[in-house]
Amino acid sequence: MAALSILASPTPTPPAPPPAPRTNVYVDGFNFYYGAVKDTPHKWLNFERFVRILRPHDDLRKIYYFTALVDGSHQKRQLTYLSALGTLSTMEIVLGRFKSKQIKCEVAACSDTTCDKIFKKPEEKRTDVNIAVYMLDHAYQNTCDQFVLISGDSDLVPSVRMIKYRFPDKRVIVYVPAKDKVRAYAVELRASADRHKEVPLNLLPLSQFPVKVPDGSGGYYEKPPGW
């Protein structure tokens, strides 16, 4: 009698892991500066390196850095930094502007009605609107599955809520840049997102540019003194 051959059952193929989410990052430049790096030695930040450490399992598509050009002596340092950021393939710089605003004297000792001094104060314009427009446009264009917003500004709440209303499958993650507890609250913005955290400040020293950043044409951008 012929021996029966026993066929081993094929080993089942494990299911493929889900694809990494396509991720866009939106950085509120001044909110990040004042919340995370002002008065620190970590201003010369390579945002691409920072985001890749922060979100190692994401499919990073683009980092949008929103700011406005300052006046005076600080502009040269700012332009140097923006130029260094511009060497990164994932970065796009989106500029708003500053507009002079007239305000009355706010000194406590001059609070009586006899003080009529008027001063010009620069006010950043368009950044919040630019962030909101870009995020909504990218949601409708379906350029990403996940929005990472680095800001603590409550003016961005309507755009986050609209994305969640129109595109419930898309995720919005907020990172609040804050060295102090008051800035870290950002209650409204946190509540509007799928997830929220504070910017991990311990990653900043790990994500710095070298002192000299090649500009691609034989020159370099050098870290400003004091940065």
Tokens matching residue 51 = 């985001």
Most distant CA pair in the chain, distance: 118
Per residue in 170-195, pLDDT (tens digit) is 999 999 999 988 889 999 999 999 99
* Interval 20-40: pLDDT, tens: 999 999 999 999 999 999 999
**pLDDT tier at 48 (50, 70, 90 boundaries)?**
very high
> In angstroms, what CA-CA distances link 20 with 23, 55, 165?
9, 11, 23
What DSSP state is assigned to residue 156? G
Q: 59: how many CB neighbours lie within 10 A of its CB?
A: 13
Token pair of 50, please?
């920072």
Per-residue confidence (pLDDT) for residue 100, from 0 to 100: 46
**What's the confidence (pLDDT) of residue 7?**
61
With tokens 């140097």, the residue in question is 80
Mean residue pLDDT across the chain: 89
Domain assignments of the chain as residue spans, ordered by start: 22-97+124-214
HSE-CB at 17 with a 13 A cutoff on CA atoms is 4
Fold for 22-97+124-214, please state it.
Rossmann fold (3.40.50)
CB 196 within 8 A of CB 174: yes
Residue 157 in this model has a pLDDT that exceeds 60: yes
Give residue 99's pLDDT band: very low, low, confident or very high (50, 70, 90). Answer: very low
| 142 φψ region: left (φ > 0), alpha (ψ -120 to 50), beta (else) | left
Q: Is the pLDDT of residue 222 over 80?
A: yes
Angle 157-166/127-141 helices, nearest 10 degrees?
A: 10
- pTM for the full model? 0.84
